[in-house]
Chain A
């Protein structure tokens, strides 16, 4: 297997380090250049040549660009090859062992100590009690050539921690792919009182949900310092003409779930504004217009050359209360914009010259609630992968595979007990642990 150069490349640690650092370094780009904005913003910001290069490399949505996905795929591939390459060694280390402490094995072990006691004093159950109490309840016992061998294989699964972590990354990847193929993300804006069942997908296009939501109410509340306290939508869920549930509250951190689709409180706004204004002739005092107008629709006066259009309406403009931004349209001259306030009816007549005075009387508008809509059939697989990752990391870092041997050999007068132990990592600490265990074993034997 190792002779194949392709296999060699894909299972090399150099590739792992290269990929890890490449992903880490290139990821920085996307945190500096804002991602996934409308194209026009990038065109305005960059020179045409720079724009072309950045566009070619997909920098404006770099985490989904071909080369970034290729790097992620390379990492996964590398991880699979490495795991396959080393699996057999790890497996053998964990499960294939010499339960007999022969002299050949004895030579290879760093930590070993011997104790000799008179044969009369030797009680085999003392040794077994020591193993059960101090090391592990499960051990292997063999008797050959008049010698008794004990073998304890403790935390043999610890060596597999890394494989669990690697497997978890693959599982998370699978979950993410399932989500991106069979799931969708989108948004829906529902004005209060209206019912809607079609969402706008994130990548463009629309999608009917197969059921409908009616927005009964939307409320936003604020703390004293002006920061938002709560956004709350109240909706009714309607499926095939039947009301499934009434008065469901959707808030931030309180989504609604139905048929695998989830709705999240994301934004809000106002819609359907009607502004009531009066236009008066300054000289004659005659009312030339009195009624409701829509934002952006011009209002004619009795002078065919002059019209007014409300450009914007705000319920509370810079603390001045209801305010409208009005534009005066005169044929052949540039537009002129000015403000009128409901609270200050004299403001317009005092601050602006001209034939007509505009009064803001009232305004009607309603809120719409903006909901994020998401379906992700892969999400539970992702959580399972995350759970496995933590299990794997804890196994890898906090458990260590340890092996202990005890060999009891006897002659006419005395018994020789040889205690040996090995652990692959952290040799300094293990030596200390081994010595402590040996002292305890001595106490057991001399009891």
Chain B
């Protein structure tokens, strides 16, 4: 069995997990909630195994490298990080109704991957042959995952706010608001670290730590949006609806930084066309 076929299996497992979380969201049945968490957890473990298998497969091809080098590999890694961060939050806060709103991201991402993104293992071009690759990609994607979770919770926040009676089982707005802040409080230092490791790497490879390349600029735009979120919260007490809005806006900026720049604009980070 190859890593690619395992990744396809994981797509289905995550879909079931999403489906169970959705069932739980509407019917709040304990069995489905357990099935949802179990399948998310099982999917995560299989995906991590597949990640290491792909790593090993690259050595078999004669140019071994950590699978974080092209669009396919980065999308897969993004889903691993999202599910991981989500499960940590679920275990820590014991809130399961967010599940469907977060698991939708890995399901859509992996489905997009298997339909449109070439999954060949490619050798590293000279610019990527660096130890900075791992540090840069891991920090960036951990932050993206944390922001994805905060976006999912923000959507939940809007649902609860608009239909408080229908969704009485969703945890209180105050709690959701706190969770939105907490996931951004985790994501923001990681994004900063991701930008810094990227700058350090660029300086090492090209002699410039900042060149206003579209990817760099968009990561800075994202950073500014979340900085605005934090300032508005701390000093003006922007909470609730306004905060949820900024968190969704921030994640839209993350998505553009991550995918829009590569697919629509040109620059140092182009993965090539799909």
Contact = CB atoms under 8 A, between A and B. Distances in A.
B8 interface: no
B130 A228 contact: no
Contacts of A35: 212
B232 A24 contact: no
A27 B129 contact: no
Nearest to B197: A386
B224 interface: yes
Contacts of A264: 205-207
B21 to A, nearest CB: 25
Contacts of B225: 20, 24
Interface in A394-440: 394, 397-398, 426, 428
Contact of B207 (A229, A374, A393): A374
Interface in B175-213: 175, 178, 185-186, 188-189, 192-193, 196, 199-200, 203-210, 212
Nearest to B123: A223
Given A17-B232, A31-B261, A382-B209, A230 B203 contact: no
Given A27-B221, A389-B192, A383 B200 contact: yes
B73 to A, nearest CB: 15
B5 interface: no
Most chain-B Cβ atoms within 10 A of its Cβ — which of A17, A31, A264, A372? A31
Given A229-B123, A389-B192, A31 B214 contact: yes
Contacts of A16: 228, 231
A114 B224 CA distance: 46
A141 B71 CA distance: 60
A397 B188 contact: yes
B228 A252 contact: no
A273 B234 CA distance: 66
B124 to A, nearest CB: 9
A141 B126 CA distance: 63
A300 to B, nearest CB: 45
Contacts of B214: 31
B218 interface: yes
A283 interface: no
Interface in B220-255: 220-221, 224-225, 227-228, 231-232, 234-236
A398 to B, nearest CB: 8
A55 interface: no
Contact of A227 (B125, B212, B228, B266): B125
Given A28-B221, A31-B214, A255-B205, 11 more contacts: A24-B225, A28-B217, A252-B127, A262-B207, A264-B206, A373-B207, A386-B199, A386-B200, A390-B193, A393-B188, A393-B189
Interface of B: 63, 122-123, 125-127, 129-130, 174-175, 178, 185-186, 188-189, 192-193, 196, 199-200, 203-210, 212, 214, 217-218, 220-221, 224-225, 227-228, 231-232, 234-236, 261, 265-266
Interface of A: 13, 16-17, 20-21, 23-24, 27-28, 30-32, 34-35, 63, 162, 176, 185, 223, 225, 227-231, 251-253, 255, 262, 264-266, 372-374, 376, 379, 382-383, 386, 389-390, 393-394, 397-398, 426, 428
9 contacts: A13-B235, A13-B236, A21-B228, A24-B225, A30-B212, A185-B208, A228-B126, A229-B126, A252-B129
